[in-house]
Amino acid sequence: LIVASITRIAMLAAFMGVFLIGSMERLIATFAWSWYEKVSLQTLCVSIIIELCGAIQAYSLGLLFILS
């Protein structure tokens, strides 16, 4: 039951954070457009790191709300 509650709140935070994650990626793509257009391995790594930051934030919010 606790895992389901954490997942529910984490998904709520993740769906709310989708706009932030998308905005961060578009911000990088705008200011570093020549690097971003190369679609190299580094571009993929940056995208994965941004997504991981969003997931970590969502699950930490879920834990914070459940355990507080």
| Cα(16)–Cα(60) distance, integer angstroms | 14
Tell me: the pLDDT tens digits for 1-18? Answer: 778 877 777 777 777 777
Number of Cβ atoms within 10 Å of the Cβ of 39? 9
Q: Is the dihedral of CA 46, 43, 45, 14 positive or negative?
A: positive
Tokens of 27: 């911000």
pTM for this predicted structure: 0.63
Q: Tell me: the pLDDT tens digits for 6-65?
A: 777 777 777 777 777 778 888 888 888 787 788 888 888 888 888 888 888 777 777 777
